[in-house]
């Protein structure tokens, strides 16, 4: 990106300020060092920022944000960089604030069902800190590495959220640095607007968290896991409906189709049936008596809806094996195709059969393979659109197909994203779900938190928008100056 001489000078001055805040060793500016940070989990979006800075304390985060504010330089906060929507994609003319060093567990109070952590703590580390009696329910599949700060930004879900809910249901307190460097303490049940609720899931566009209080809950007394195999996804979908209609709320209920079973089985040897068109993994957890009676009900319902085979895990090892195939499904897709797009659409669960038929038809039309792995309880699909970039036009066809699948989800009354976030990847689809008036209303919230548009600009909203007049002196926006955005 070309820059004018004054801009370059001011950027150099900012870098030197960042160095004095965090120490030279924690400010990366060389393209070679920055390569690690050029993308998040969605590697086809890449950008090298002016600098990546790794603060070691909340105070340093605040000073960094204030320095950026004074220099009118936008910034992006990044946790572990496992996000799947490009939400932590750096900005060429901005700073990347990497929170990986803020990984202390600050306090644990099981009496209060609370744990207080810094944003760089991994999701799994929270459960470890409160174990063996308690756990933190939201469990994105990247939980070994993904950070709680990132989970808060994305309102992360996971396999167990049908029963237990999402990140937003577990965050009870946040310390947030706003884009002007001010710190706010957001608490659940504090008098006033639910700023905490508005912040969780805002994808880093309203500020950056420096301290997070989470609710944790007791580990269920019992866990029973089974996998049922069906001729096709339609029959497995009927089983899901039958289970949910019976008033059963499984801890997790996951479905894989023929292609994903094949890939996962080849990768793990978990013993999934290769002649099955669908595998349904059902996990019941809770008090012993309820688990036992519900397990019998689920087995009966699976048989009634035509299951070829139902296998109940009889040991922890067998349970781990059943899960291994499900968790390996994404990575195993490399055996089917060199590359894939993963989508994150949501549909009302009752529309599952027709949506899957539509996806099959679209895949045939586009001459591409689509594997389906999904959270069946809440209708969150993860179609994996396989392609080979080496074949001419295939990547583009895959991208088009990906967009049509999302449209199918929205048309069925669903959403463009259930847990991955909008980021840069899905912002173009926002108008398929929201009207101009809806988007303008979103912007009001963003403008209240970040009137100068410095926190993660260019994400979530389909087109760049700026904020109108606010009290205080007018400041020309860098994007406005560059002519790439107009005032909202």
**Footprint (CB under 8 A) of another protein, residues 265-294:** 286-287, 289-290, 293
- Is 6 an interacting residue with respect to another protein (CB under 8 A)? no
Smallest gap from residue 311 Cβ to another protein (A): 25
Stretch touching another protein by CB under 8 A, among 31-39, 190-198, 271-279, 325-333: 190-198
Letters for 117-156 (x = contact with another protein by CB under 8 A, - = none) are ----------------xx-------------------xx-
Candidates 63, 224, 349, 382; binder of another protein (CB under 8 A) is 349
- Which residues, 466 to 485, sit near another protein by CB under 8 A? 470
Indicate the residue among 45 and 442 with the shorter CB distance to another protein.
442
Give the range of 116-124, 243-251, 325-333, 386-394 binding another protein by CB under 8 A. Answer: 243-251
Q: Which is nearer to another protein, 163 or 258 (CB)?
A: 163
Q: Site residues for another protein, window 19-38 (CB under 8 A)?
A: none
350 vs 369 by CB, closer to another protein: 350
In angstroms, the CA 364 to CA 108 distance is 53
Residues 361-380 that bind another protein (CB under 8 A): 375, 378-380
User: With respect to another protein, which residue has the nearer C-beta, 178 or 252?
Assistant: 178
Among 23, 220, 306, 403, binds another protein (CB under 8 A): 220
Among 59, 70, 182, 365, binds another protein (CB under 8 A): 182
Q: Count residues near another protein (CB under 8 A).
A: 89
Residue 238, interface with another protein (CB under 8 A)?
A: no
197 prior amide bond cis, ω within 30? no
- In the list 441, 463, 484, 487, the residue contacting another protein (rule: CB under 8 A) is 441
Residue with tokens 């989470």: 214
- Stretch touching another protein by CB under 8 A, among 255-263, 276-284, 341-349, 364-372: 341-349
Q: Give me the least distance between CB of 448 and another protein, in Å please.
A: 4
Question: Any contact of residue 455 with another protein (CB under 8 A)?
Answer: no
Residue of the chain from 45, 232, 434, 464 that contacts another protein (CB under 8 A): 434
Q: How far is the CB of 209 from another protein (least distance, A)?
A: 15
Q: Cβ closer to another protein: 21 or 460? A: 460
Encoded tokens for 3: 């820059």
Binding mask 386-425 for another protein (x = CB under 8 A): ---------------------------xxxxxxxxxx---
Helix (H) or strand (E) holding 115: strand 114-117
Site stretch for another protein (CB under 8 A), options 7-15, 99-107, 196-204, 255-263: 196-204
Cis peptide before 132 (omega within 30 of 0): yes
Pairing of strands 465-466, 486-487: parallel
Nearest approach in angstroms of CB 50 to another protein is 28
Three-class SS string for the chain?
A: CCCCHHHHHHHHHHHHHHHHHHCHHHEECCHHHHHHHCCCCCCCCCCCCCEEECCCCHHHHHHHHHHHHHHCCCEEEECCCCCCCCCCCCCCCCEEEECCCCCCEEEEEHHHCEEEECCCCEHHHHHHHHCCCEECCCCCCCCCCCEHHHHHHHCCCCCCHHHHCCHHHCEEEEEEECCCCCEEEEECCCCCCCHHHHHCCCCCCCCEEEEEEEECEECCCEEEEEEEEECCHHHHHHHHHHHHHCCCCCCEEEEEEHHHHHHHHHHHCCCCCCCCCEEEEEEEEECHHHHHHHHHHHHHHHHHCCCCEEEECCCHHHHHHHHHHHHHHHHHHHHCCCEEEECECECCHHHHHHHHHHHHHHHHHCCCCEEEEEECCCCEEEEEEEECCCCCCHHHHHHHHHHHHHHHHHHCCCECECCCCCCCCCHHHHHHHCCHHHHHHHHHHHHHHCCCCCECCCCCCCCCEECCCCCCCCCCCHHHHCCCCEEC
- Considering only 36-44, 333-341, 388-396, 429-437, which stretch makes contact with another protein by CB under 8 A? 429-437
Identity of the residue, 100 or 249, whose beta carbon is nearer to another protein in the bound complex: 249
Cβ distance to another protein smaller for residue 29 or 155? 155
| Least gap, CB of 192 to another protein (angstroms) | 4
- At closest approach, how far in Å is the CB of 189 from another protein? 4
Tell me the closest approach of the beta carbon of residue 274 to another protein, in angstroms. 30
Query: How many CB atoms sit inside 10 A of residue 245's CB?
Result: 9
Q: How near is the Cβ of 155 to another protein at its closest, in Å?
A: 5
Single residue of 9, 35, 92, 110 touching another protein by CB under 8 A: 110
Q: Which of 36, 185, 396, 463 binds another protein (CB under 8 A)?
A: 185
Cβ–Cβ < 8 Å for 349, 376: yes
What separation in angstroms does the CA of 262 have from each of 113, 232, 250, 271, 320? 42, 14, 25, 11, 18
């Amino acid at each position: 990106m070309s820059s004018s001489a004054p801009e370059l000078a001011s950027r150099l001055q900012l870098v030197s300020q960042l160095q004095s805040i965090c120490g030279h060793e924690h400010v990366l500016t060389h393209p070679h060092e920055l390569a690690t940070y050029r993308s998040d989990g969605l590697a086809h979006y890449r950008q090298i920022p002016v600098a990546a800075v790794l603060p070691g304390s909340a105070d340093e985060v605040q000073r960094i944000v204030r320095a950026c504010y004074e220099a009118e330089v936008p910034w992006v906060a990044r946790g572990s960089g496992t996000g799947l929507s490009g939400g932590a994609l750096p900005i060429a003319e901005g700073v990347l604030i990497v929170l990986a060093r803020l990984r202390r567990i600050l306090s644990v109070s099981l009496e209060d069902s609370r744990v207080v952590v810094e944003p760089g703590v991994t999701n799994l580390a929270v459960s470890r800190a409160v174990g063996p009696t308690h756990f933190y329910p939201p469990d994105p599949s990247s939980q070994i590495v993904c950070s709680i700060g990132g989970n808060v930004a994305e309102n992360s879900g996971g396999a167990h959220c049908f029963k237990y809910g999402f990140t937003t249901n577990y965050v009870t307190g946040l310390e947030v640095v706003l884009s002007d460097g001010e710190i706010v303490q957001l608490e659940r049940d504090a008098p006033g607007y639910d700023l905490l609720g508005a912040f969780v899931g805002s994808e880093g566009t309203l500020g950056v968290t420096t301290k997070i209080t989470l609710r944790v809950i007791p580990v269920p007394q019992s866990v029973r896991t089974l996998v049922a195999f069906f001729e096709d996804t339609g029959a497995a979908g009927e089983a899901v409906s039958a289970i949910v209609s019976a008033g059963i709320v499984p801890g997790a209920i996951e479905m894989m189709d023929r292609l994903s079973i094949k890939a996962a089985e080849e990768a793990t040897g978990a013993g999934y049936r290769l002649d099955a068109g669908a595998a349904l993994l059902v996990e019941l957890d809770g008090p012993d008596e309820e688990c036992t009676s519900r397990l019998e009900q689920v087995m009966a319902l699976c048989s009634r809806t035509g299951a070829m085979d139902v296998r109940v895990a009889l040991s922890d090892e067998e349970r781990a094996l059943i899960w291994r195939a499900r968790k390996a499904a994404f990575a195993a897709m490399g055996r089917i195709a060199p590359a894939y797009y993963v989508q994150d659409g949501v549909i009302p669960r009752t529309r599952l059969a027709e949506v899957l038929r539509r996806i099959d038809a679209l895949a045939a039309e586009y001459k591409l393979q689509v594997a389906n792995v999904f959270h069946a309880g809440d209708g969150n699909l993860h179609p994996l659109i396989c392609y080979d970039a080496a074949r001419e036009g295939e990547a583009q066809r895959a991208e088009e197909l990906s967009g049509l699948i999302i449209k199918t989800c929205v048309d069925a009354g669903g959403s463009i994203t259930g847990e991955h976030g909008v980021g840069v990847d899905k912002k173009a689809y926002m108008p398929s779900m929201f009207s101009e008036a809806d988007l303008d209303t979103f912007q009001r919230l963003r403008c209240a938190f970040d009137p100068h548009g410095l926190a993660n600009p260019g994400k979530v909203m389909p087109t760049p928008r700026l904020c109108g007049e606010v009290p205080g002196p007018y400041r020309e926006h860098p994007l406005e100056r560059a002519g790439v955005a107009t005032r909202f």
